[in-house]
A and B are shown apart, each in its own frame.
Chain A
Amino acid sequence: MIKIQNLSKTYRKSNVRALDNVSLTIGRGIFGLLGNNGAGKTTLMNILTTLVDFTQGEVYIKGIPLAPKNYMLLRKMIGYMPQEAGGYPNLSVRDTLDYFGILNGLTAGERKNRVSELLNYLNLEKHADKKFKNLSGGMKRRLSLGIALISDPEILIADEPTTGVDPSERIKMRNLLLKLGEDKTVILSTHIIEDVSYTCEKLAILCEGKKKYEGDIEELMERASEKIWEIEVKDEKRLKQILEGNLVAGIERGQGKSAVKIISSQKPYNDAVPAAPTLEDAYIAVERVW
């Protein structure tokens, strides 16, 4: 569906290389894009949504090259949910969706049907006449998803969709995305590992503009398992030494001892044993010791 080859982006004014030779292949379903702040995720999202031009490389969306002459065609295929949920303060939820329906070329009849479908799908029916300024953070996020879906695009790009929302809204958003992933290509850009582990089968990890990993979550965990170690420590002095000299992923305390999880490419201590990694451990391993 989306093929990215050797993609690079350098911002002219700041001379920052936001993406460095990134290649990815994204198929149907939900594809996670993990990375810290400043890893280049938003730049990649902006390139795919035609908001930012790239410096080098090639991008094909359903075989169509991402180039200015194809922008209008590609915009019809892509729905974009930006990092910050925006809307006109005095416009209601219904009016906001209707407005973006017009911007996406829907006729009055199409808009009417699509807006009610989306209100139902996003569970915003009760709040349809509420003004944007009176919505909660989670509702604004759902409305933002609605705006992205108004033209029923084949590809949905969601940039940090769960940032800043409460746990129940986060679960709602994940479920919505899971449902969408059944028949669309969804690119989920986030730094919240839990979101990826819950929704994605495939992911890519970006770090300082470079791709550090691309593939299945299972494969990532398998490869990471070679780098995650656990050591039981009873002596506080030793514990202090371990904490200072290693990349520690977590500590579990209890019964007068501490189980310390260490990320290391080699066995760090003789008494360290391999440990089952979580996705978070794997992500840190990729980012720091891969």
Chain B
Amino acid sequence: MSTYRLILSLFGKELKNIFKYPFTYVFMLLLAIIIWDTSTQVFQKFYATQEAYEKEFLGYIPYQEFQSMSEQAFLKRYARQRINQGEAVARIYEDRMSNEERGRLFSAEDKTNSNFGELYETYCRRHKIIDYGFMNYEQIKALSKEAYEKISHSLYVPMHSKKNFYFGDSNERLRYYPTYEQAKALMKLENLSSAIAREYYFRIMKVLAIIGTILIIGYWTRDYKNNVIKNIKASNIRSYQYIISKYLALTAVMLSTYFVLTMFSVFIFKPQYHHLAWAFEEVDFIKYFILLPFVTQCYLNALAMLVSIISKEIIFSTGFMFYYIFLFGQSTKFENEPSQWLIKSWKYFPRCGTKLGIMATEGTTMIVHQIGYFIITICILWLTVYIWQRNRTEGSG
């Protein structure tokens, strides 16, 4: 039988065998739960009108509603109150800042001993902020509708939580967020679906790395555990045929399950974007699937396979891989731009910001990172074949 046909036959057989391996179903179930959970967080509504956007996403209270609110109810919703001589007051200003400037200012505000005051004054001088001074509830209430709408940005701060990526009632506030006008401008840079796809895959990739690794290690070490390794080594298959077929079958099962489940969620959640002018296209998800989890999981699978073949047992392999996944998968943020993530060459996880249009600046770095890891994957596969071949005859080499 030719090499090509043998690899194909073994690939087909391994595909069937993987479905006879009980952990495969545990893997699929866990993945389905995680994907669904992530989908409910990431596929949040984007609002078509300014009013809906500001109310639902930015948490603003419309003027009429504010007028009918009690002071107590207002203070519950108002996130940035100060107490001045026993009275709750707000720093009122018109927000003309960019997303980044706003993020920097809020980050400074959150830190003690920061340069918030200095930064605030700088923005005032640059007319990024039009300062109205401190006002109490009654003073705010006395503002006209037009004035109220201008200073709304300084009153309400979007919150995010694990349950709601874009807006929620967590006590952690969102430092970076676009105003409606800024969001509209950002949407011209790329499809909304691109930004969602990036965040979607970023979130699931790490979980897939963990449960995927267990599947890979369990599947490879069972050759040793079930005493079939001697029969395999004594057979006349070439080492590269065996390694490549098995690797491809495992990776194919893992990635196709992942792809089907994620795309299923995409189709389920897609209708909620139909009424928007902002584009939502499935092809963006396919594009980012290939760019992100496809490359990263191929790399991690190859690494897990190499470690399993070297250690020949499950505990050490899993321990090593978990250590690697957690240590080198940890995303790093820029110090002065907390919404930005650093793409580092020694970290397999190419995390960049979720902001719309970010690929214009980060796209090349990310693609280079992923190409680099694809080449490393091929090198690991070659190394695995070499080590397996050496181990095939004990005491050789």
Measured CA separation A249–B98 after assembly (Å): 98
The distance in angstroms between the C-alpha atoms of A82 and B230, with both chains bound, is 7
Given contacts A53-B395, A88-B20, A90-B22, contact A80 B231 (CB under 8 A): yes
Query: Shortest Cβ distance from B368 into chain A, in angstroms?
Result: 39
Q: Identify which of B9, B16, B231, B395 contacts A100 (C-beta below 8 A).
A: B231
Within 8 A of B (CB), among A88-109: 88-91, 95, 98-100, 102-108
Question: Which residues of B are found within 8 Å of A9, using beta-carbon distances?
Answer: 395
Partner of B6, one of A68, A78, A82, A105: A105
Q: Are A106 and B227 in contact (CB under 8 A)?
A: no
Is residue B128 within 8 Å, beta carbon to beta carbon, of the partner chain? no
How long is the Cα–Cα vector from A103 to B16 in the complex, in angstroms? 15
Q: Which residues of A contact B113 (CB under 8 A)?
A: none
Question: Given the complex, which residues of B lie within 8 Å of A213, measured CB to CB?
Answer: none
Does A1 belong to the interface (CB within 8 Å)? no
Taking CB atoms and an 8 Å cut-off, the chain A residues in 40-82 that contact chain B are: 46, 49-53, 55, 68, 71-72, 75-76, 78, 80, 82
A88 touches B231 (CB 8 A): no
Q: Is B10 an interface residue (CB 8 A)?
A: yes
**A84 → chain B, closest Cβ, in Å?**
5
Question: A85 on the interface (CB 8 Å rule)?
Answer: yes
CB distance from B105 to the nearest CB of A (A): 60
- Please report the C-alpha to C-alpha distance between residue A9 and residue B16 in the assembled complex, in whole angstroms: 40
Count of CB-CB pairs between chains A and B under 8 Å: 98
Q: B226 near A: Cβ within 8 Å?
A: yes
Size of the A side of the interface (Cβ < 8 Å), in residues, is 41
Q: B236 interface residue, CB < 8 Å from A? A: yes
A99 to chain B, nearest CB (A): 6
Q: Mark B1-32, 1 if CB is under 8 A from A, else 0.
A: 10001100110010011001110000000000
A53 adjacent to B394 (CB under 8 Å): yes
Q: Say whether A12 faces chain B, with CB atoms less than 8 Å apart.
A: yes
Distance in Å from the Cβ of B328 to the closest Cβ of chain A?
32
Q: How far is the CB of B290 from chain A (nearest CB, A)?
A: 30
**Assembled-state Cα–Cα distance A55/B394 (Å):** 11
Question: Contacts of A85 on B, CB cut-off 8 Å?
Answer: 227
With contacts A99-B13, A103-B232 taken as known, whether A86 is within 8 angstroms of B227 at the C-beta atoms is yes
Chain B interface, DSSP helix/strand/loop, else mixed = helix
B236 contacts A75, C-beta separation under 8 Å: yes
Residues of chain A contacted by B22 (CB below 8 angstroms)? 90
State how many angstroms separate the Cβ of B261 from the closest Cβ of chain A: 23
Which one of B231, B235, B393 lies within 8 Å of A53 (CB-CB)? B393
Please, how many angstroms separate the alpha-carbon atoms of A147 and B228 in the complex? Answer: 10
B162 at the interface (CB under 8 A from A): no
- B215–chain A nearest beta-carbon distance, Å: 15
Interface contact B6-A102, CB-CB below 8 Å: yes
Could you tell me if A108 and B9 are in contact, using CB atoms closer than 8 angstroms? yes
Contact A51 B233 (CB under 8 A): yes
Whether A104 contacts B393 by the Cβ 8 Å rule is no
Q: How far is B394's CA from A83's CA once the two chains are assembled, in angstroms?
A: 17
A23–B6 Cα distance when bound, in Å, is 38
Whether the pair B236, A51 counts as a contact (CB closer than 8 A) is no
- B236 pairs with A105, CB closer than 8 A: yes
Residues from chain B with a CB closer than 8 A to the CB of A106 are 1
In the complex, what distance in Å separates the CA atom of A210 from the CA atom of B237? 33
Q: Interface size (B, Cβ < 8 Å)?
A: 31
Residues of the A chain whose Cβ atoms lie less than 8 Å from the Cβ of B84:
none
Task: Write the nearest CB–CB distance from A137 to chain B, whole angstroms.
Answer: 13
- Beta-carbon nearest neighbor of A105 in chain B: B1
A200–B235 Cα distance when bound, in Å, is 26
A87 to B229, CA, bound (A): 9
Closest residue of A by beta carbon distance from B222: A88
A148 to B236: give the CA distance in the assembly, Å.
Answer: 12
B227 and A78 contact, CB distance less than 8 A: no
Is B393 in contact with A50, judged by CB distance below 8 angstroms? yes
Q: Are B238 and A72 closer than 8 Å at their CB atoms? A: yes
Q: How far is the CA of A144 from the CA of B226 in the complex (A)?
A: 13
Q: Taking the complex as formed, is A8 at the interface, i.e. its CB lies under 8 A from any CB of chain B?
A: no
Question: How far is B10's CA from A106's CA once the two chains are assembled, in angstroms?
Answer: 11
Interface status of A162 (Cβ within 8 A of chain B) = no
Chain A nearest CB, measured from B343 CB (Å):
41
Contact for B393 among A68, A76, A86, A89, CB less than 8 A: A68
Q: How far is the CA of A9 from the CA of B393 in the complex (A)?
A: 13
Contact in complex: B394, A104 (CB < 8 Å): no
Pairwise interchain contact A88-B396, C-beta atoms closer than 8 A = no
Is A99 touching B17 in the complex (CB atoms < 8 A)? yes
Q: Known contacts A71-B393, A103-B237, A105-B1; is A91 also within 8 Å of B231 by CB?
A: no
Q: Flag if B20 contacts A91 (CB, 8 Å).
A: yes
Note all chain A residues with C-beta closer than 8 A to B395.
9, 11-12, 52-53, 55
Task: Tell me, yes or no, whether A151 is within 8 Å of chain B by CB.
Answer: yes
A residues near B222, Cβ cutoff 8 Å = 88
Query: Are the C-beta atoms of B227 and A107 separated by less than 8 Å?
Result: no
Q: Please report the C-alpha to C-alpha distance between residue A87 and residue B17 in the assembled complex, in whole angstroms.
A: 12
Residues of A within 8 A of B394 (CB): 46, 51-53
Please name all residues of chain B whose beta carbon is closer than 8 Å to the beta carbon of A50 when the two chains form the complex. 233-234, 392-393
Shortest beta-carbon distance from B230 to chain A in Å: 4
Q: Is B240 an interface residue (CB 8 A)?
A: no
Among A53, A95, A103, A144, the one with the most B-chain Cβ atoms within 10 Å of its Cβ is A103
State in angstroms the CA–CA spacing of A51 and B395 once bound together.
9
Q: Is there contact, CB below 8 Å, between B17 and A75?
A: no
Q: Which residue of B lies closest to A131 (CB)?
A: B20
Asked if A89 and B226 make an inter-chain contact with CB atoms under 8 angstroms apart, the answer reads: yes
For the complex, give the distance between the alpha carbons of A51 and B230 in Å: 7
Residues of B within 8 A of A (CB): 1, 5-6, 9-10, 13, 16-17, 20-22, 222, 226-238, 242, 392-396
- Sample 8 A-B pairs with CB under 8 A, ordered by A number: A11-B395, A52-B394, A80-B234, A86-B230, A90-B22, A102-B13, A103-B242, A107-B1
- Contacts A9-B395, A82-B230, A98-B13 given; 19 further ones with Cβ under 8 A? A50-B393, A53-B396, A68-B396, A80-B234, A86-B231, A87-B226, A87-B227, A87-B228, A88-B228, A90-B22, A91-B17, A95-B17, A102-B237, A103-B231, A104-B235, A144-B231, A148-B231, A151-B235, A151-B236
What are the 7 closest A-B residue pairs judged by CB atoms, nearest first? A86-B227, A75-B236, A103-B235, A53-B395, A86-B228, A80-B234, A90-B20
